[in-house]
Amino acid sequence: MSVNRAQRVDLEVVTDLIPPNSRVLDVGSGDGVLLELLQGTKQVDGRGLELSQRGVNECVARGLSVIQGDADTDLKFYADKGFDFVVLSQTLQATRNPKVVLDELLRIGNRAIVSFPNFGHWRVRFSLLIKGRMPVTKDLPYSWYDTPNIHFCTIRDFVNLCEELGATVEKATALDANGQKIGLSMPWWFWNFFGQQAVFLLRR
Amino acid sequence: MAAQRAARTKDEVDHPSSPVLQFGPDKPLKLDAGTLLSPFQIAYQTYGTLNDARSNAILVCHALTGDQHVANTNPVTGKPGWWEVLIGPGKIIDTNRFFVICSNVVGGCLGSTGPASTNPATGKPYGLDLPIITIRDMVRAQAMLIDHFGIEKLFCVLGGSMGGMQVLEWVASYPERVFCALPIATGARHSSQNIAFHEVGRQAVMADPDWHGGKYLDFGKRPEKGLAVARMAAHITYLSEAALHRKFGRNLQDREALTFGFDADFQIESYLRHQGMTFVDRFDANSYLYLTRAMDYFDLAADHGGRLADAFAGTKTRFCLVSFTSDWLFPTEESRSIVHALNAAGASVSFVEIETDRGHDAFLLDEPELFAAINGFIASAARARGLSA
């Protein structure tokens, strides 16, 4: 289980949003690090959906309830409001149809928690503006031709999509390059410029 | 050797070496066919000790040609139990910790009432006078066995193939009696292709003149050739093309060149003939007809208004499904459709697909990833059930 620093902070923020004993669906559960954390600290009834078979087998071997499946195609099999929380951690940008996926999350969960790398971060803007290259950073280490991340968005883009889907932002957190939370008093443009990661708590 | 094995198989039918539970006229088995089976008996094996709370029982359901000897030397073949790699003291299903039960299915031929058993009304073997048995009938009989042990809720029910069908039926029929379920390499219904292969097998048995319209035991005969062909055809479906090629290729059997005849030139031919021949010594041909029919009739969704999710409505059972990439008898899609139904029912479900070229039979083999999944699932379920390690 390897988790980089940004992911770890992200997981902590997500975990803080979930009250004990909730029913949680983790979409894109990877090797189960979030589910295990949630079960250990919040005693949640946790389930997972993960694309890679290797990740699924690891999860199940560790006693987690995880199935192999694709967020783009398999969320439709879940019942309406079957979970208190549906978490999509660092996966939205890798889906083929983020709008449909987000819509499904809001249907399946009473609350949806979505975290993603902010493509409006100044380093990203700097890379394109000055270097004229697609950004490759520590947290986004892929080149344009081999990246699984096909639908990047900025914090502002995401807020717009939420409005379009009729979702209410109950809480939002932006983390700067050091994994520090950016002050709540700061305006959206500041978040969008200095936030490297964003975590949203949504409901509809 | 073969004759001895055949004689032992015959002995096991009415008076098996396993413990037997007899159900008299006061406890008939209600069959889906609309009749009662009475009296009847169930032969079973147990391993380990039932705890005081009666909460540590695991029921293992065997496959088409399996039996109750899951973790002890088989009395007919002298071979190790069919899942001894998995079940035993200190093993993944640890009999120092769990009370493991495995019974011969009704319709079988190793001690539970089946077509080879003596019909008390005539004093002769039932043959085709035995009503058709379904997967649900098998499970109903198992529930009567579980009642006998005073077990209200099984900790786990697990099995592969036809055993997996029984696992699914257990949860659908007795949702409150199964804490966790492990259906492996199975489906919620038998596919058209699977029914087709079974039909080939049955026709092979019935085409053998020694079958005598199902009354072969009355004539002191057995349709060995037909049953062997049935087994050969079925055995191919348990393997994969890749595994067959890896194991046998086009290798010749004990010869340097083709013989330009119909002898078993190829290793694969010799292998299949051997599989067919050894099978007929340990299995009753009519039992093969009944059990293949039971699988063909299985359609869990149809039993619940055509919607599979309704078979699991409100279930609190924890599930773990396992499929194998090269299994073309019960391909991954079959498991996946069960998973989707369980999702729709809001069930707790894990699903593992294991990469292997060993085909359907992989569930019986030493597959480390299978064992890791079973181990993780059982361990976490045991914690949730409050069973100490």
Task: With beta carbons less than 8 A apart as the criterion, state whether B186 and B335 touch.
Answer: yes
Specify whether B274 is catalytic.
no
- pLDDT score at A5: 60
* pLDDT above 90 for A42: yes
Long-range interactions of A43-50: CB distance < 8 A, separation 24+: A44/A18, A44/A20, A45/A21, A45/B348, A47/A83, A47/B348, A47/B349, A49/A25, A49/A74, A49/A75
Residue B282 shares a structural domain with residue B334: no
For range A95-124, the mean pLDDT? 94
CA B45, B183, B146, B298 torsion-angle sign: negative
Residue A46, pLDDT above cutoff 50: yes
Pair B199, B186 in one domain: no
Nearest alpha-carbon partner for B356 in B246, B204, B221: B246
Which amino acid makes up residue B331? P
What interhelical angle do B192-207 and B224-238 show, nearest 10? Answer: 160
Taking the CA atoms of residue B220, residue B37, residue B101 and residue A56 in that order, the dihedral angle to the nearest 10 degrees is: 100
Start-to-end CA span in chain B (Å): 44
Q: Complex ipTM, two decimals?
A: 0.83
Task: Name the pairing type of β-strands A168-175 and B29-30.
Answer: unpaired
The answer to whether B337 contacts chain A (CB < 8 Å) is: no
Q: Are A193 and A153 in contact (CB under 8 A)?
A: no
CATH number at residue B256: 1.10.1740.110
Domain match, B236 and B218 both? yes
Does residue A124 have a pLDDT over 90?
Answer: no
How far apart are the C-alpha atoms of A118 and B98, rounded to whole Å?
51
CB contact under 8 A, A47 and B346: no
Asked whether residue B309 falls in the same domain as residue B288, the answer is no
Q: Quick one: B134 and B251 in the same domain?
A: no
Residues B131 and B266 occupy one common structural domain: no
Distance CA A63, CA B385 (A): 13
The residues of chain B scoring below 70 in pLDDT are 389
Are residues B322 and B183 part of one domain?
yes
The verdict on B35 and B181 lying in the same domain is: yes
A5-119+151-203 topology per CATH = Rossmann fold (3.40.50)
Of the residues B256, B275, B292, the one at which a domain ends: B292
Based on the fold, state whether residues B59 and B204 are members of the same structural domain: no
* Same domain for B265 and B155: no
Q: Tell me the residues of chain B between 107 and 136 that have a Cβ less than 8 Å away from chain A.
A: none
Residue B52 annotated as catalytic: no
Instruction: Tell whether omega for the bond before B19 is within 30 degrees of 0, i.e. cis.
Output: no
**Distance in Å, alpha carbon of B183 to nearest chain A alpha carbon:** 14
Mean pLDDT of A85-90: 95
Interface test with B, best of A57, A66, A81 (most B CBs within 10 A): A57
Q: Which of B292, B319, B353 is the last residue of a domain?
A: B292
The β-bridge relationship of strands B36-37 and B29-30 is: antiparallel
Taking all residues of chain A, what is their mean pLDDT, rounded to a whole number?
Answer: 90
Q: How many domains in chain B?
A: 2
Same domain for B266 and B314: no
- Would the pLDDT of A2 be above 60? no
CB-closest option in B343, B376, B380 to A78:
B343
Whether residues B115 and B185 share a domain: the answer is: yes
Largest CA distance in chain B: 67
CB A19 within 8 A of CB A111: no
Contacts of B355 in chain A (CB under 8 A): 53
Task: Domain of residue B70: give its range.
Answer: 2-191+299-385
CB atoms within 10 A of CB B9: 21
> Of residues B55, B112, B161, B287, which has the active-site annotation?
B161
For B353, which of A65, A68, A77 is closest by C-beta distance?
Answer: A68
pLDDT at B97: 97
A interface toward B at CB cutoff 8 Å?
45, 47, 53, 56-57, 59-69, 74, 77-79, 82
Cβ distance of A53 and B355 shorter than 8 Å = yes
B318 Cβ under 8 Å from any chain A Cβ: yes
Where do the structural domains in chain A lie, given as residue ranges? 5-119+151-203
